Structure formats: C-alpha cells, structure tokens
Amino acid sequence: MILVADSGSTKADWVLIDESGENVYVNTRGFNPVVHPQDLLHVEVQKLSQELLPGAKVTEVHYYGAGCWDPRRKKVISDCINRVWPAADITVMHDLLGAARATCGDEAGISCILGTGSNTCLYDGKEVVDNVTNLGYMLGDEGSGSHLGKAFLRSYFYRELDDELNAAFERYTTADRMTVLNNVYESEMPNTYLAGFTRFMGEHQQHPLIQKIVFESFAEFLDRHVRKYKGHLEVPVHFIGSIAFHFKKILLAALHERDLIAGRFVHKPIEALADYHSGK
C-alpha cells in the first residue's frame, strides 16, 4: 500500500492507495519541523496508524511537507513515520514539489502555496528549477494567512477599523492585546494563531478595508516572489492552499494588474498527488 501526505503547518491530508487502486482519504493536524516540536508529528502519525488507518500495511510513504527544505528537517519527518511503519520505503519532499506536481502536471509553470505560510517555485514540467527564498512567518510569508492575520491585527489595535467592522470583530473574539501578544510571542504555533484571524477576514471580505489589506498582501507576494522568475509573463501561475482558494477574486485582481496568467486554483492537492503516485 502507498501512503501519500500533503502537510501544511495547520492541516495535513493523507491518502492510502491500496493494490486495487482504491483511495482512502483522511486528515490530521498539520506539521512544520521549523516551528513545531517533533512530538506533535509523532502523536499525529500514531493516531493515523491506530485510529484512521488501522491495520494498513504501508510499503511506501511519499510525504510532501511545509518546512522540509533540508536533510535535517526531512529526517525529523522520516524518523517519526519510520517508528510506525519501519518496513516502509519513506520519501520526504518539500511541499513545493507537491504543489508543482499537483498544479502543473507535466507542463512548465509557476506554482504557489498560499496557506498558513507561503512559497513559490518555477517548475519545468519535471523538476523545480528555481525558488525565491522563503523567510518564514517572522520575516516573510507574504500573502499567507499569517501575513494577513498580522496586517489585520495591526489595523485593529492601531484603531484603523471603522465602527461597524470594529464592533463585528469584538463580537467575533474576546482576544485583547495581552492575549494576542502572549499567543504570538509565547505559544508554540504563532503562525497558525495569526492565520486563524483570516476566518473573520473571509467572512467580511466585501469590506473595503479587508479588501485593501488582502490585495496589498497579495501584491507584495507577487512582486517579491512570482515576478522574480525568468519568463513569469509567459507561463501560468498556479495556486494551492486555503488562502488562495477563499480570496480568489482579490488574488485574480492582483494577477490581472500585473499581466500575469492565472492558472489553476486548487484548495487541496492531495487528489492530484494520489493520481500522480498511482500512475507511477
């Protein structure tokens, strides 16, 4: 049996492909070895094997994950999975390769991840050939959920919301200044916490200030990342992730303003990755 995973910092999608070609899809909490403790992934993999996929005889694991950009962080993932399925052949890859395979297929293009974090790559139809540096939620992650959350919270605490939006937000949350600061500076997953505020933003995305915040964040993302690739005006720009999916209309406006070719918008790439590995 082949197990394929697509994990962001917040959620992870898994698919088990058995010999008959039937797929079983399950979900767990996401994991990023850059910001999360290893024990978190171990708990989720144990849950996967004992509760969600009990008795599964996994022979191959193909894991695409956020933060898996070097051998040390990839080893964190493979070690956790190996403890549960010691006989399986485990391959850990960056989630960018998963995004490229899910959106571009065998064609050239630019593939972008816009979820809790953000990232991009230039793909030639077979391999990732270029990647503008991703600096993470503290220094970068433009266009991501954490980036949007930070921008919105600044507007709220700096008293830039109008009365209607301010009242709506205070009905939505009880978080005061100290609660926010404690979660940002002392919690284990500040990027996920910040991205959580995009739910409120999505519910009020017709408001001019929300549109301004989102558009400016997307514009910064496109200018600092997508437009740095050679030939960026000649190939489609594809997107995966909840932020791109739920704020698609605003993202399309930012793409149009820059004469970029809008490609596919995929909420979750796991089905496309299942097809890819079934074919292999």
| 182-195: pLDDT as tens digits | 988 988 788 888 99
Least confident of 12-16, 34-38, 119-123, 183-187: 34-38
Nearest CA among 226, 244, 228 for reference residue 236: 226
The answer to whether 173 touches 215, Cβ cutoff 8 Å, is: no
pLDDT of 21: 67
What DSSP line would sit under 205-240, residue for residue? TTSHHHHHHHHHHHHHHHHHTGGGSTTTTTSEEEEE
Alpha carbon 90 to chain centroid distance? 22
Residue 51 has pLDDT above 70, yes or no: yes
Rounded to the nearest 10°, the torsion over CA 185, 245, 276, 22 is: 100
Residue 94 has pLDDT above 80, yes or no: yes
Per-residue pLDDT reduced to its tens digit, 219-241? 999 999 999 999 999 999 999 98
- pTM for the full model? 0.79
Residue 7 has pLDDT above 60, yes or no: yes
pLDDT of 279: 65
Q: What's the whole-number average pLDDT of the chain? A: 89
Confidence of residue 81 (pLDDT cuts 50, 70, 90): confident
Least confident of 12-21, 35-44, 69-78: 35-44
pLDDT of 165: 95
Looking at domain 2-98+270-279, its CATH class is: alpha beta
Backbone dihedral angles phi then psi of residue 12, each to the nearest 5 degrees: -130, 135
Q: Which amino acid is at 48?
A: L
Q: Which residue has the higher pLDDT, 66 or 109?
A: 109
Q: What are the sequence ranges of the domains in the chain? A: 2-98+270-279
